[in-house]
Structure 1
Amino acid sequence: MGIKKNFLFLCVIVLTPELLAKECRYTATVWNAKLKKVVDQITVVKDFSALSRHEKGPFGCTPCESDQIDLNLPFHPPVKICRHIASKIERVLIQAHEEGYPIKKIIAYRPGLSKGPLDQHGNRTELSNHSFGTAIDINPENNGLYGNCKVWNSTCILLKDGKRVLEHPLTLKKNSPLVLMMREIGMKWGGEIKGNQKDFMHFSHSGY
Structure 2
Amino acid sequence: MKRTAAIAFAVIASVACGAAKPAAVPTPSPTPTSTSTTSTSPAPTATPSPSPSAPPEFTAAVARVSRDQLPYSWRPGCPVSYRDLRLVTLTYWGFDNRPHTGELVVRKNVTDDIRKAFKKLYDRRWPIRRMKLVDAYKASDFDSIEADNTSAFNCRRVDNSPNWSNHAYGEAIDINPRENPYVTASGGTSHANARKFTKRPLQGKGVINPGDRVVKIFSQVGWEWGGYFSGDKDYQHFSKGGG
TM-score range, shorter chain: 0.5 to 0.7
The AA in structure 1 aligned to 2:154 is: R
Aligned length: 146
Pairing 1:72–2:89 present: yes
- Give the equivalent residue in structure 2 for 1:158: 189
Query: In the TM superposition, what is the alpha-carbon distance from 1:114 to its structure 2 partner?
Result: 2.8
Q: Which residue does 2:224 correspond to in 1?
A: 188
> How far apart in 1 are the matches of 2:163 and 2:189?
25
Pair 1:110 & 2:154 matched: yes
Aligned counterparts of 2:212 and 2:169: Cα–Cα separation in 1 = 26
Matched residues, percent identical? 21
Could you say which residue in structure 2 is the equivalent of 1:204? 239
Q: Which of these residues, 172, 176, 184, is aligned with residue 135 of structure 1?
A: 172
Secondary structure at 2:194 match in 1: coil
Structure 1 stretches (4+) deviating beyond 6 angstroms? 26-29
Q: Determine if the alignment matches structure 1 residue 174 to structure 2 residue 215.
A: no
Distance 1:146 1:197, change over 3 A: same
Question: Structure 1 residues 83, 93: closer, same or farther in 2, change over 3 A?
Answer: same
TM-score (norm 1): 0.60
Which has the greater radius of gyration? 2
| Residue in structure 1 matched with residue 121 of structure 2 by the alignment | 96
Letter in 2 for 1:110: N
The unaligned stretches of length 5 or more in structure 1 are: 1-17, 19-25, 30-41, 46-50, 56-62, 116-122, 150-155
Task: Please give the per-residue CA displacement for 1:17-37, whole angstroms capped at 9, x wherever unaligned.
Answer: x9xxxxxxx8888xxxxxxxx
State the structure with bigger RCO (CA 8 A, min sep 6), 1 or 2.
Answer: 1
Q: Deviations over 1:96-152 (max 9, x none)?
A: 12213112232100001336xxxxxxx743311000100000011100000025xxx
8 Å CA contact retained: 1:189, 1:207: yes
Cα distance in 2, alignment partners of residues 158 and 124 from structure 1: 18
Q: Name whichever structure is richer in strand by fraction.
A: 1
CA RMSD of aligned residues (A): 3.0
Gaps of 5+ in 2: 1-63, 65-69, 92-99, 131-149
